Chains A and B, each alone.
Chain A
């Protein structure tokens, strides 16, 4: 059972375009993280959101956590080739410890 779904699975855009990727679940998360993974490397944390409705900005990236803490979005403005990579969302489930579940990822390719 896939607890986290991400869409789209693949995205290829021209440099300078805007895009939004989504992360959805039927589960409530105590926090949600976005990671970016480049080929041949491990994922690197971009942001952690904790509060429902929270919006965080990181330069050209805007992250939003849904009010119900079940979904999140990542918006990139004026995409650059350096944004190319696999974008993974990871939700923390409140159990006896904060179990982190990764989504399948959105593979983004920004064409110069």
Chain B
């Protein structure tokens, strides 16, 4: 079974530029998550989709971050404009069970963003 795919793996941009990340979840997984992981910290949820609807985006900085999941499959996360503090690894994860205590999340390898 193919895992969660993310691209690009690495991205270096200057502040105030824009950047987009792509995620392809495991086939059939209804729930998709985007996390931000700053070096030395645990993942912080940015947004959670169930199919193509948003379940939780309470920690998404909506003035600069946006995400979409068209057709309930692939997803893109965009930052516009980027700030220095956005330097982090952006992880995408998906899960089969949309709700429930036995919810295992499968993570992609992440995109490492460096903002100069």
Give A contacts to B, CB under 8 Å. Answer: 4, 6, 30-31, 33, 40-45, 48, 50, 88, 90, 92, 97-105, 107
Contact = CB atoms under 8 A, between A and B. Distances in A.
Nearest to B35: A102
B-side binding surface: helix, strand, loop or mixed?
Answer: loop
B47 to A, nearest CB: 12
Nearest to A49: B101
**Size band of the B side of the interface?**
20 to 34
A92 B101 contact: yes
Given A97-B55, A99-B56, A100-B105, A43 B43 contact: yes
Contacts of A107: 40
A98 B100 contact: yes
In order of increasing CB-CB distance, the 9 nearest A-B pairs are A42-B107, A102-B42, A31-B101, A104-B42, A102-B43, A97-B99, A105-B42, A45-B104, A30-B101
Contact of B103 (A92, A101, A103): A92
B42 A100 contact: no
B105 A45 contact: yes
20 contacts: A31-B101, A40-B109, A41-B109, A42-B4, A42-B93, A43-B105, A44-B107, A45-B104, A48-B104, A88-B42, A97-B98, A98-B100, A98-B103, A99-B56, A102-B35, A102-B43, A104-B40, A104-B42, A105-B41, A105-B42
